[in-house]
Amino acid sequence: MTSHKKIVVCGAGGFIGGHLVADLLSRGADDIRAVDIKPLDQWFQCFHKVDNLQLDLMNKEACEEAANGASELYNLAADMGGMGFIESHKARCMLSVLINTHLLMAAHKMGLHRYFYSSSACVYASYRQNRPGAKALQEDDVYPAQPEDGYGWEKLFSERMCRHFTEDFGIPTRIARYHNVYGPHGTYNGGREKAPAAICRKVIEAKLSGKHEIEIWGDGHQTRSFMYIDDCIYGTLRIMQNNNATIPINLGSDEEVSINQLVDTVEDISGVALKRTYRLNGPKGVKCRNCDNTYIKELLGWKPSTSLRTGLEKTYQWIYDEMINM
């Protein structure tokens, strides 16, 4: 990591952003600006040796303040959450387009050297994910477009905006399509949590209460792949610095599991067996989604490799400690 260049992390008070700031510091970055809309005491991780700013990045002036003097900018900021949140807050999710729009405008105005945008597997066409056993998603499976309504459309539009700012204004942009990132120091309750954290919390609640029951959204047969946060951060940095990473790139594990198998693993970690109730009308997303890592392996000679079991053990322990110390 080259020191003495200003690096801006937007969304730094969030799960991925907090881990990114921590990793940049560990690599020797010595001029970091961390930006989030939340008050500092609500950030998942906050490092006082960096320039921490509370700004609403939906506003143009705030984005210019964030980008001022920067060399590189990571845009991880968005109003989002797990499937329960994005299915019931489509307009709020789409308003995040203002963040990327104004940050790109600020990047152009300030002459930034490189810009990273965190996209999502929700950009992929839903008709490619509507049956069990569907093939893993490759980068060109986005079009003809039919992304997740609301959140997915915002991500896909913002990808295109990054592309055109590169074409028209020469700003080098990098885009990673994250596939279900999980790990410690993230949301595990309140409605914005994603499946791994939600399942860990539910199993811990069942274990601590002695009421050995769990509710699962859907029939449990829907499949996903889940990427541990360490792989996400390493891949993000590699993509950002690679001169040939000029198209949106999948960043996710290719270890596909059903939600039932996810629950099996967390139960085994916890040492309990739970009675399962299936909420068939609950938010559940597409039937099948997995990450094809052919391109990232060709580009970087690497792919996310942390096993689901290993990542869940660390995530479970962190959530357990948080819950018993509340």
Question: Pick the catalytic residue: 151, 178, 228, 320?
Answer: 151
Which residues are paired to 58 by β-bridges?
none
278 assigned to active site: no
Closest C-alpha among 198, 160, 194 to residue 178: 194
Q: Supply 34's token pair.
A: 């961390």
DSSP string spanning 9-24? EETTTSHHHHHHHHHH
Q: How far apart are CA 316 and CA 24, in angstroms?
A: 25
Whole-number CA gyration radius for the chain:
19
Residue 66, both tokens: 């964030």
CA-CA distances (angstroms) from residue 312 to 11, 235, 263, 276? 24, 19, 11, 20
Cis-peptide into 248, omega within 30 deg: no
- Neighbour count for residue 303 (Cβ, 10 Å): 18
Sign for the pseudo-dihedral over CA of 242, 46, 5, 113: positive
Nearest residue to 74 (alpha-carbon basis) of 117, 137, 136: 117
Concatenated DSSP letters of 30-79: --EEEEESS-GGG-SS--TTSEEEE--TTSHHHHHHHHTT-SEEEE---S
Q: Known catalytic residues?
A: 151
